[in-house]
Amino acid sequence: MDTTYVHGYTAPEARRLGDQADTLAELLHAGTAYPAGSRVLEVGCGVGAQTVHLVARSPDAHLTAVDVSADSLAQARARVGPGVGFHQADLFDLDGEYDHLFVCFVLEHLPEPVKALSHLKTLLRPGGTITVIEGDHGSAFFHPRSAHAQAAIDCLVRLQADAGGDALIGRRLYPLLADAGFGDVTVEPRTVYVDASRPELVTGFTRDTFTAMVEGVGETAVARGLLDEAGWARGVADLHRTAAADGTFHYTFFKATGGVR
């Protein structure tokens, strides 16, 4: 599977993934717990940021976590510790049989998400389930409103599209899962709203997750001429402005489940 991780594999990106997972653990993982003894596969575990929370909520499940990056897997092993089987593999090379699949922030980077989901469906036993979580950068809105900040976000959306992905994929989860042949598909919005009364989210989400994610593609955005340096700096400054005492920020994740008969 030839794809590019638009955010890169830097140490700041690894920290951002950890901050995101810890800040949003209750929002994203609520309702997800696997029975003791069940075989669970986490697809695209990265640095193990979500794996930690899967283990905490399903301590007696048999969890296997896979990723295409050997460096990310090394970080995941160090982060999570023993008890999880980590393996390096391309999504389309996966085989075996599992009771449950967990796929978080993976489809957004794939050029053929339906093809990927169709393959993953072959790994589930009858009665098995899949859980998919994705964001949608088109759901971001904020105060103070800023065309410059929006332009910076749009650069990230464009760069992800150029890399073969879709930063707006959250809104597509129902048709993607249905087209891949999953049944009983349900999709729930999981909304983050941030203002100064929620300082943990101001830091953990507005600043250290979303704004940091946008900032991380700045060099590439400017090099490709999507914005000039001054425009990029203004856009990022205005995103940081939303974390001030009178700022607010809103974003929606989408959590989908489906099954096989």
Task: Identify the burial level of 70 via C-beta atoms within 10 angstroms of its C-beta, where 0-12 means exposed, 13-18 middle and 19 or more buried.
Answer: exposed
pLDDT of residue 16: 64
Is residue 3 over pLDDT 50? no
Task: With a cut of 50, say whether residue 77 has pLDDT above it.
Answer: yes
Give the span between the Cα atoms of 198 and 203, in whole angstroms.
Answer: 9
Q: Which of 251, 222, 12, 8 is nearest to 136 (CA)?
A: 251
pLDDT at 137 over 90: yes
DSSP helix/strand/coil, 87: strand
From 89, 5, 3, 9, select the one nearest 41 (Cα to Cα).
Answer: 89
- Mean pLDDT, the chain, whole residue set: 94
**Domains of the chain by range and CATH?**
11-142+164-193+250-259 (3.40.50.150)
Give pLDDT, residue 1.
Answer: 35
Q: Report pLDDT for 23.
A: 86
pTM for the model stands at 0.92
Q: pLDDT for 152-168, tens place per residue?
A: 999 999 999 999 999 99
3-state secondary structure (DSSP) of residue 66: strand
Res. 237 pLDDT band, cuts 50 70 90:
very high
